[in-house]
Structure 1
Amino acid sequence: MHRFIKENSLSIVFALLFVAALAGQAFAGWQQLNDELFAEDLHQLSLGRYLTSADFAVDVTENWQSEYLQFLLYIVFTVWLLQRGSPESKPLHKTGEESDEAQKVGDHSRDDSPRLARVGGIRTALYSRSLGIVMGAIFLLSWLVQSVAGWAAYNETRLQQLRDPIPWGSYLMNADFWARTLQNWQSEFLAVGSMAVLAIYLRQRGSPESKPVGAPHDATGVEG
């Protein structure tokens, strides 16, 4: 058990942080919504009702979709785009999808290579891009859930204001949907861009996300 925890400590710690943050968000969001309902002299919700409400769903999924969009774009863009001096970039001479030999695919695979890297054909082609495909699918699914939950929450507010609800298609063109979406996208783009540039000049000893402390600033694709 000790060995398992040590070898999987990064994923375990982030899973625990995720659960703790989600629980904290749920409790704080529940209190915030009930404060708003109390101020408007409306019936307050139990925690269970809040967890199944559109308000909670949209608050969660609008963050999920932006995070997975960030990783999707990062995974795909770093195939072709480079940043001189950044460990977040591939070496300058390795732009593109690289050769089968470099990727250990097909006839160039090893005995310990994943089976799907060895079989060839469409299965290997899909497996070669499976990380981006799955990240893209999660992004689209969470964005769809965000749009439906946001639409329901938006219409609840309209009904409380004695206004007619709007159809889902109209909500997709509504400022509420795009304000929720773009406020998350811009922060993700800023964070990734900042990481790529700051890692050129700054170091974190022992981290694979940083270059070795003594590496020159123009060393590209080198990890500590």
Structure 2
Amino acid sequence: MKKFFKNNGLTIVLIVAFLGSMLGMWISGWHQENAELASHGLPSMSLLAYLKDESFLSALFENWESEWLQMCFYVTLTALLFQKGSAESLDPDSAEDAASDTSSRDTYPAWMRQSYILRWIYRYSLGLALFFLFVTSFIGHLVASHASHNSQAAMHDGPARTLIEHLVSSQFWFESFQNWQSEFFSTAMLVVLSIYLRFKGSPESKPVSASDTETGA
């Protein structure tokens, strides 16, 4: 067990932190939603009912959407673009062309060696998987946000929207952009700060002895 945790500690701790944060979001959101319902003279909902509520799901997918977009952009852009001196970048003066396929077929799993398409998917599978997760979360956010808007509209005797109307609404894109901007900004700050700052032992940092102009971890 000790060896298992040593080998998987980073994932375990992050998953535990995710579940703890998810629990906090669930319980605090439930209290907030019941306070909103009470202000309109409506009955409160149970904790389990709130887990399926459109307002909870909208907020959940809204945040997941921005995270997957950030990571998809990050993985893709670090293969194409450079930042001299950053631990988060390939060295523009010595990096090999990441777009070229210099590996032999023998480096791929046996079942995909005879198919160029499967080999291409495998080469870019991390970015493709992150993009798929972004699209899935984007759709989940759209559907749940649409249902949440119509639920709020019904409480305030307002007009309902179709899904397409909600897709092109300022409300939906405000919900998305307010998270996207923070993800891109924090990633840019990590790229820049890793030029000048260090964290001993982290693979996201250059060695403490490295110069500011040295690129890569």
Bin the TM-score by the shorter chain: over 0.9
How many angstroms does 1:164 deviate by? Answer: 2.1
1:218 corresponds in structure 2 to 213
Aligned partners of 1:66 and 1:185 also within 8 Å = yes
How far did 1:38 drift?
1.3
Per-residue deviation at 1:100?
Answer: 3.5
In the other structure, the counterpart of 2:148 is 153
Shift in Å at residue 67 of structure 1?
A: 0.1
1:84/1:117 CA distance change after superposition, 3 Å: farther
Determine whether 1:94 maps to 2:95: yes
Structure 1 residue 119: Cα displacement: 5.2
Unaligned runs of 5+ in 1: none
Between Structure 1 and Structure 2, how many residues are aligned?
216
CA, structure 1 residues 206+127, in 2 after alignment: closer, same or farther (shift >3 Å)?
same
Give the structure 2 partner of residue 127 of structure 1: 122
User: Structure 2: how far apart are the matches of 1:22 and 1:3?
Assistant: 28
Equivalent residue number for residue 169 of structure 1: 164
Matched, 1:82 2:59: no
Map 1:172-187 onto structure 2 (within 5 A). 172-187=167-182
1:174 deviates by 1.0
> Tell me, what secondary structure is at the counterpart of 1:8?
helix
> What is the letter of the counterpart of residue 106 of structure 1?
R
Deviation at 1:99, TM superposition (A): 4.1
Amino acid paired to 1:7: N
Structure 1 distance, partners of 2:71, 2:111, is: 23
User: Which position in structure 2 is the counterpart of 1:4?
Assistant: 4
CA distance in 2, matches of 1:34, 1:186: 30
CA RMSD of aligned residues (A): 1.6
Distance (whole Å) between structure 2 residues aligned to residue 36 and residue 193 of structure 1:
37
The amino acid of 1:3's aligned partner reads K
| Counterpart Cα distance in 2 of 1:180 and 1:105 | 45
Q: TM-score, normalised by structure 2?
A: 0.94
DSSP-derived class of the 2:161 partner = coil
TM-score by length of 1: 0.91
Percent identity for Structure 1 against Structure 2: 37
Paired residue type of 2:145:
G
Shift in alpha-carbon separation, 1:99–1:68, aligned structure 2, 3 A:
same
Q: How does 1:50-69 map to 2 (within 5 A)?
A: 50-69=50-69
Residues 1:106 and 2:101 aligned together: no
Counterpart residue number, 2:22: 22
Runs of 4+ in structure 1 over 6 Å off: none
Contact 1:147 1:177 in 2 (8 A): yes
Structure 1 match to 2:49: 49
Aligned partner of 1:72 in structure 2 is 72
**Cα displacement (A) at 1:106:** 2.2
